[in-house]
Amino acid sequence: MLRLALAAARATAFASRATGRGGGTTLPGRVLTALAPDAPRRLAGRLPRGCVLVSATNGKTTTCGLLAEVLRGRVQLARNSAGANLASGIASALAVREAASAELGLFECDEAALPGLADQLAPGAIALGNLFRDQLDRYGELELVAARWRELVARLEPSTTLVVAADDPLTASIAEGHPSLVHYGIDDPSVALAAAPHASDTRFCVRCGHAYDYRAVYVGHLSDYACPHCGNARAPLDLAARAINLRGLDGTAFDLCRGDEHVRVELALPGLYNVENALAAAALAVVLGEPLKVIAEGLGRFRGAFGRFQRLRVGSSDLVLLLIKNPAGANEVLRILPPGDATLLFALNDRIADGRDVSWVWDVDWELVAPRLRHVVTAGTRAADAALRLKYAGVDASAIEVVPDVARALDRVADLAAGGTGYVLPTYTAMLELQGVAASRGLARPYWEEAAA
């Protein structure tokens, strides 16, 4: 039955691409599991080095991309690289012909889907990353995800290594007590924020509810924290980033430190949040037995996950595309915009994958960049809401144009950038639309090819 199910799934993938209906990133998996429900478990069991899972609110795709680059030419991978991170996406990745010769499965998992996937795939390691507020209408509150992760950790095999974002008090508390832990985190107060931003989600001690004291706040609530009341504090770091040099959109350099050993990493990705992603990838690579030097080289080769950070030339303007999905991630994107006047396209969709509730845009600190925004175009299914948010952030209403159609908005922002640089900030499905527009004009490859590259 498995063989038949595989054949059907592969035929579906082929048909889906041939008819131009999409990348075949989820449908083959649905066909596979409809015909053979235990196929993902059995296929994962055939991988000689097992599976590694990555989950977090922000950074899953980038973390997997970074790790894949580290392992390039060293370990043959099966991956769900187009960001299809529910059960169907991972089943699809296991079904494709190339997966039959893979040694290791590397899968990013939706936070809510992680427990079920971990039960099925019996991973050798799981990266538990940051937990931020995200798409509440879909998941219920952050605590619900945390509760499901806790239940997962309690039933895990002791041999499964957990790679843990030590900077996140909630994630760290979830993993606490598991016998095999690797803690990673940032250890450089010189790049800390002056204060915890508004979008902080875990400000109060996960044990006793008292407000945390911070030695340094890095991204949202990701921090070097300690509770003055009960003593709950960040765990000692097994893998740390020190001597961080943030060079805006040009990238980031840091020392990757493990015990007495350290190596310089030259990351092509902007922002401190990508240092968190690089650390997660590095920690998994360490668990997989890769030496620090190989890890640093691999991290340095990575040029950005699909749609997260990308440059497009439209007309005579350079457009920098940066994905935003939730307050914490969006605030980090705003932090890396270079100083000076800026032209911006904010494309806000409210489809299922974006979250139907767009109230989160009010928790993003647009106020910090509003005085510098000379021209703003808003697009997407919620273009009017995006315009309203920026008006109340302090952008003059006369500088805001509402152009719901994403393709036309892209042209408009390129016009307004007038041969200079424009910044394009789309939500997830708006990013997919933009990729579609770019691909149809020959500016970029279709997303399933981009992701496989």
Partner 1 sequence: MKLVLCQLYPEHLSIYADRGNVQVIRRRLEWRGLELEERPLRVGESLDPDAADLYLVGGGQDRDQMLVAEDLQRHRRALHTAVAGGAAVLAVCGGYQLAGHRYIGQDGSEMPGIGLLDLETRAGGTRLIGDIVCECDLGDGAGARTLVGFENHAGQTVLGAGCEPLARVISGHGNDGSSGYEGARAGSVLGTYVHGPLLPKNPWLADWLIERALERRYRHVELAPLDDRLELAAAGAAAQRRNA
Nearer to partner 1, 133 or 412 (CB): 133
Nearer to partner 1, 11 or 211 (CB): 211
Select from 37, 45, 179, 209 the one that contacts partner 1 (CB under 8 A).
Answer: 209
Phi, psi of 145 (to 5 degrees): -60, -45
Site for partner 1 in 170-199 (CB under 8 A): 198
Select from 148, 308, 335, 389 the one that contacts partner 1 (CB under 8 A).
Answer: 389
Nearer to partner 1, 103 or 363 (CB): 363
According to the binding rule CB under 8 A, does residue 405 interact with partner 1? no
Minimum distance of partner 1 from residue 286's CB (angstroms): 34
Nearer to partner 1, 211 or 418 (CB): 211
Half-sphere exposure of 37 (CA within 13 A, CB side): 0
According to the binding rule CB under 8 A, does residue 143 interact with partner 1? yes
Minimum distance of partner 1 from residue 431's CB (angstroms): 21
Nearer to partner 1, 119 or 396 (CB): 396
- Measured CA to CA in angstroms, residue 183 lies from 164, 165, 329 at distances of 5, 6, 22
| Sole window of 89-97, 174-182, 305-313, 351-359 interacting with partner 1 (rule: CB under 8 A) | 351-359
Select from 255, 266, 318, 363 the one that contacts partner 1 (CB under 8 A).
Answer: 363
Q: How far apart are CA 420 and CA 202, in angstroms?
A: 39
According to the binding rule CB under 8 A, does residue 344 interact with partner 1? no
Select from 387, 424, 431, 451 the one that contacts partner 1 (CB under 8 A).
Answer: 387
According to the binding rule CB under 8 A, does residue 358 interact with partner 1? yes
Select from 140, 231, 291, 420 the one that contacts partner 1 (CB under 8 A).
Answer: 140
Nearer to partner 1, 98 or 357 (CB): 357
Minimum distance of partner 1 from residue 417's CB (angstroms): 23
Nearer to partner 1, 117 or 373 (CB): 373
According to the binding rule CB under 8 A, does residue 46 interact with partner 1? no
Nearer to partner 1, 72 or 356 (CB): 356
- Binding track over 310-329 against partner 1, x by CB under 8 A: --------------------
Minimum distance of partner 1 from residue 364's CB (angstroms): 9
According to the binding rule CB under 8 A, does residue 203 interact with partner 1? yes
Using CB under 8 A, list all residues that contact partner 1.
133, 136-137, 140-143, 198, 203-204, 209, 211, 356-363, 381, 383-385, 387-389, 391-393, 397, 400, 402
